[in-house]
Amino acid sequence: MTSEADERGEPTGAPASVDVSAAARPPAFYRLENTVQPYDWGSTSAIQDLLGVEPDGRPAAELWMGAHPLAPSRVVPDGALRPGEGAPSGAGPGTLVDLVRTDPVRVLGQRVLDQYGPRLPFLLKVLAAERALSLQVHPRPHLARAGFNRENREGVARDSPLRSFHDDQHKPEMVVALTRFEGLSGFRRPRRILELLDGLDGGLVARMRAALEARPTEAGVREAFTLALHARSEPDLAADLARTVASVRARAERGPDDGGRGRSSRRADTTVLALAEQHPGDPGAVVSLMLNRVTLAPGESMFVPSGHVHAYLSGCAVEIMASSDNVLRAGLTRKLVDVDALLECATCTPGPAARPRVIDDGTGLTTYRPPVAEFALRAGRVAGDEAVPLPDAGPRVVLCLDGSVSLAGADHGASVRTVLARGESVFVPHATGAVAVRGEGRVVVAYVP
């Protein structure tokens, strides 16, 4: 039965109290406005294409989604959380750092808060490399804390180019390829390194060979690596490396001459030549012969533990890591190379490139679980009307890579949803609870396992 007041649109009491309650509830989803890092090795088209912006010839290397202090995502409460609702009044954008600090239990959940404090423990990126990144290592936890505190005591400014440790966190990381993705990660077996160095000209490679022949062990690998790092200060390095690169080029053009025994590697040789062209006079090109050469097809993944020497060479990938910007460079860069700090942090144990545990549950989304506690990924394609459940607790970041998908969950018994198009991302607080995705598109979900 409709009352006279109803017909005039006048309030009757009960609805007003419901509206106040709904308005007081925190948003279930927060739209993210993310920083693009214009590092010079970045692609001039890949991230621009993802975000739907016109390329302008400048590189876009990384898209950061998270709460790292150097470039925290800005958050805007989703303005269409409930049918008929607009954006909450007075809700201007802040950063994800601010959001976490305002209500860490609601945003992170008690478990994550107890383990990591009031901070988001992971950083999600899209990485687009047109040429090689630096040869680098990320410190393990105790070394990150020690290095950060030491540089603070020494008065090294946080933004100084002479600083090696920008925070006190370790930085294990994982990549999942979006295109063909090329990289180097971890040291080859000593005998294999010797096969690749065999027959090359130059004083540095001769000393590296001698170290490995004397000790074809982890100790020999470390000594050969150390020789290459310290060679940066030698006055005749450029001429010596030119001889080595010339002998690599001759071998690549000549082709295998080992009777089919597989001792040489065209891929390893072409990697040296490409790096020497990008970074002439840098011994990192020769160091690449010591490292495992990795090619990932779309959907394939690689885990890089703290301490592993690595470099990403080309391609586009989703990257997730512990929330840190600690990078100790070994070469292929014009930035600081802190040899002593790098050697303290580097692990020289030979072995294959590491891979995460991969779980395909038939939903279209694959779970990637590296052996660390800070992060994991769900990624893949959804199709049709069937809802695919996402991780149901803790802080989550969801990115749409193409198509259009909707996220739906329950908030105090009310249905809540948001829609993501290509390149759009949202933060989902712990308090939002269980969330499912449906639609037609590719998505990535970062979470704390």
Q: What are the extents of the domains in the chain?
A: 189-288, 378-447
pTM for the whole structure: 0.89
**Amino acid, res. 210:** A
How far apart, in Å, are the Cα atoms of 241 and each of 80, 230, 293?
Answer: 60, 14, 21
- Give the bridge partners for 416, in sequence order: 409
Domain 378-447, CATH 2.40.170.20 — does that match? no
pLDDT at position 104: 97
Catalytic residue at 329? Answer: yes
Is the pLDDT score of 32 beyond 50?
yes
Q: What is the distance between the terminal CA atoms of the chain, rounded to a whole angstrom?
A: 52
pLDDT at position 258: 55
Active-site residue identified among 31, 293, 329, 417: 329
Is the pLDDT score of 23 beyond 50?
no
255 pLDDT band, cuts 50/70/90, is confident
Angle at 160 between CA 155 and CA 163, to 5 degrees: 70
Minimum mean pLDDT range among 71-85, 130-144, 347-361: 71-85
Summarize pLDDT for 125-164 with one digit per residue, the tens.
999 999 999 999 999 999 999 999 999 999 999 889 889 9
DSSP string, 9-35: T---SHHHHHHHHHHHSPPS-EEEE-E
414 pLDDT band, cuts 50/70/90, is low
Helix (H, G, I), strand (E, B) or coil at 273: helix
89 pLDDT band, cuts 50/70/90, is very low
Is residue 68 part of an annotated ligand binding site? no
317 pLDDT band, cuts 50/70/90, is very high
What's the mean per-residue pLDDT of the chain?
90
Within 8 A by CB and 6+ apart from 47, the residues are: 36, 60, 61, 62, 63, 126, 128
Is residue 278 part of an annotated ligand binding site? no
pLDDT at position 336: 87
Report CA 171 to chain centroid distance, whole Å: 10
Is the pLDDT score of 394 beyond 80?
yes
pLDDT at position 298: 98
pLDDT at position 3: 40
pLDDT at position 25: 62
Average pLDDT over residues 179-197: 98
Summarize pLDDT for 56-71 with one digit per residue, the tens.
999 999 999 999 998 9
Average pLDDT over residues 194-216: 98
Cα–Cα distance measured from residue 384 to residue 403, given in angstroms and rounded to the nearest whole number:
12
Is residue 166 part of an annotated ligand binding site? no
How would you label 415-437 residue by residue, b for 16+ Cβ within 10 Å and e otherwise? ebbbebebbbbbbbbbbbeebbb
pLDDT at position 88: 42
Average pLDDT over residues 24-41: 90
Within 8 A by CB and 6+ apart from 408, the residues are: 387, 415, 416, 417, 435, 436, 437, 438
Average pLDDT over residues 312-339: 94
Q: Among 267, 297, 272, 268, which residue's Cα sits nearest to residue 282?
A: 272
Q: Is residue 107 a contact partner of residue 429, using CB atoms and an 8 Å limit?
A: yes
Is the pLDDT score of 269 beyond 90?
yes
